[in-house]
Amino acid sequence: MTIEFPLVINGRWREGAARQGQDVLNPATGESIGKVAHANSTDLDEALDAAARGLVEWQGVSPWQRGAILKSAADHLISDIDSIARIITTEQGKPLAEAKAEVTRSAEFLEWGGEQARRIAGRTLRGRVAANRIEIETHPIGVVAAFTPWNFPMALAAKKFAGALGAGCSIICKPSEETPGSVLALAKALLSAGVPPAAISIVFGRPEEISNYLIPAAAVAKITFTGSIPVGKQLAAAAGRVMKPVTMELGGHAPTIVCGDVDPERAADILARAKFANSGQICLSPTRFFVEESVFERFTARMTEHAKAWRVGDGMDPKTQMGPLANERRVQAISHLVEDARQRGAKIAAGGNRIGNRGFFYAPTVMTDVPENAEILHSEPFGPIVPVLPFKDENEMLKQANGLEFGLSAYLFSNDAARQRRLTDALHFGTVGVNEFVTHLPEVPLGGWKESGFGTEGGIEILSPYQKTKFVSVW
Ligand code: NAD
């Protein structure tokens, strides 16, 4: 078997002990671009041993120097941005310009984590009697097991590497088997910059087998996952059984409120770009469009125009505005949500169909008259679908907006300051974008409320999920 996407364990790039693997597909063609290696328990034991040694070695590198290494890794990514972006587009599907933006954002995360490493500090308190001094020390939490998805295969891993490595932890990452090249490129940049080989392992395989093995492993101290709510719950439960802390960045279903006081065409222009970015496969994507009745017709007409004119194609073509969905599962899931809504009486204003029979393309879709019981209004769509829902009564709309288990992001379009304040206060979400879409910036802590997650990533606290404190009392 030829392996184009190997495991990386202790600095060795190699196939798995059982010499097994799976095809990696280009979503624009549906054809294989190579095979990704699968790890078995022998490989995972090797990764665990390496990570335990890597932890000691990396902890021995001063935070100042760790910062320099992470900054250098960021520079490696940027100097190789064109070829890395082509890897992302080939295995994930997004247009090349979006792939380049992802590489830039990944580099920014590494740089930010490195900068925060240089600020690691403890504190001292005076004890309750003069002879006593209290020291509060900050330590790396230990070996991190990270599970990362396919939608931003590099950036969502880079966030975790930036926090974990910045804090002084070693990390074993299991990226999505569907997009292995992106994280391998990240590992290459980190190793070239000087992260000790034992401190980073990349393993692929059967996701459930790997998480079942790594989470209870004695060497692992922290679990971090980005993906769907159901899988997040499984992993958090497994971590709970062995009392290990988790960070969970899970799905969303963002209410997007367009008030009557804004220019509805301008709101539709902004929201079409937001919605069709990465073919709608963004956890922060706007997904339920509540539009005030007075501007409903104009908003829907403009959004429909955009959906019909949006150029869908291979992400390698510079004219492409939206690439394919990432895999056949997504095409099936989106087709199901659209059919379900149609059968319940929704009207399709644009799209509503798969495009062609090669690759995983789905048309940008706008629907109206979507009944409250349609599945799309309850399940995270993760695709290019715009259900437009007119509203008259703000309180009724808010009940619906806040009424799901999701609490990741929400959007509001209004120029009325009092209304902006009232609605941003009333929305039960970890992120609220007013008059614009929101992306994850390194300088901002991002995390979901309710079932959308646990903990945050990014911000001045980017290292915190990977740190523990020690209280030392000196007499
Ligand atoms: P999924 O939940 O099956 O997989 C998501 C990721 O989790 C993949 O990388 C997969 O390899 C990994 N995974 C799955 N089961 C695992 C397990 N038992 N142990 C460890 N890792 C495991 O979903 P999917 O079909 O790939 O995507 C569908 C849904 O996932 C989407 O509808 C969306 O809700 C969600 N999703 C969210 C994000 C996000 O950024 N929050 C990213 C990708 C997918």
Q: Which residues contact 153 (CB under 8 A, 6 or more apart)?
A: 88, 91, 92, 175, 176, 179, 182, 183
CA dist., res. 464 & res. 458, Å (int): 9
CA torsion 299-301-302-307 (nearest 10°) is: 120
pLDDT at res. 3: 73
pLDDT band at 1 (very low <50, low <70, confident <90, very high): low
Q: What is the ipTM of this complex?
A: 0.94
- Residue 81: inside a domain, yes or no? yes
pLDDT band at 79 (very low <50, low <70, confident <90, very high): very high
Q: Do 350 and 284 share a structural domain?
A: yes
Q: Do 321 and 275 share a structural domain?
A: yes
- Residue 445: inside a domain, yes or no? no
Closest CA to 372 of 271, 284, 299, 288: 288
Q: Do 246 and 259 share a structural domain?
A: no
Number of domains composing the chain: 2
CA dist., res. 142 & res. 140, Å (int): 6
- Residue 190: inside a domain, yes or no? yes
CA 461 to chain centre: 18
- Ligand 1 centre distance from Cα of residue 450 (Å): 18
3-state SS class at 393: coil
Give the mean model confidence (pLDDT) for residues 19-40.
Answer: 97
- Residue 24: inside a domain, yes or no? yes
Q: Do 273 and 260 share a structural domain?
A: yes
The catalytic site residues sit at 249, 283
- Taking CA atoms, 262 is separated from 39, 150, 396, in Å, by 53, 35, 20
Q: Do 207 and 122 share a structural domain?
A: yes
Q: Do 274 and 230 share a structural domain?
A: no
Q: Do 298 and 423 share a structural domain?
A: yes
- Ligand 1 centre distance from Cα of residue 415 (Å): 37
Global confidence as pTM: 0.98
Q: Do 226 and 148 share a structural domain?
A: yes
Q: Do 326 and 211 share a structural domain?
A: no
DSSP string of 162-213, one letter each residue? HHHHHHT--EEEE--TTSHHHHHHHHHHHHHHT--GGGEEE--S-HHHHHHH
Give the mean model confidence (pLDDT) for residues 264-285.
Answer: 98
CA angle 116, 121, 124 (to 5 degrees): 160
Q: Are 124 and 203 in contact (CB under 8 A)?
A: no
Q: Are 2 and 35 in contact (CB under 8 A)?
A: yes
> Which residues have CB under 6 Å of ligand 1?
147, 149-151, 176, 207-208, 211, 226-228, 231, 234-235, 249-251, 283, 329, 380, 382
Q: Do 231 and 86 share a structural domain?
A: yes
- One-letter amino acid identity for 111? E
Residue 104 belongs to domain with CATH number? 3.40.605.10
Mean residue pLDDT of the chain comes to 98
DSSP string of 369-381, one letter each residue? S--TT-GGGTS--
Pocket test for ligand 1, best of 44, 105, 223, 228 (most atoms within 8 A of CB): 228
- Ligand 1 centre distance from Cα of residue 227 (Å): 4
Which tens digit of pLDDT belongs to each residue from 350-388? Answer: 999 999 999 999 999 999 999 999 999 999 999 999 999
pLDDT at res. 108: 98
- Residue 439: inside a domain, yes or no? no
Residue 83 belongs to domain spanning: 3-250+450-474
Residue 419 belongs to domain with CATH number? 3.40.309.10
- Residue 137: inside a domain, yes or no? yes
- Residue 131: inside a domain, yes or no? yes
Q: Do 203 and 71 share a structural domain?
A: yes
- Residue 441: inside a domain, yes or no? no
Q: Are 6 and 187 in contact (CB under 8 A)?
A: no
Q: Do 278 and 238 share a structural domain?
A: no
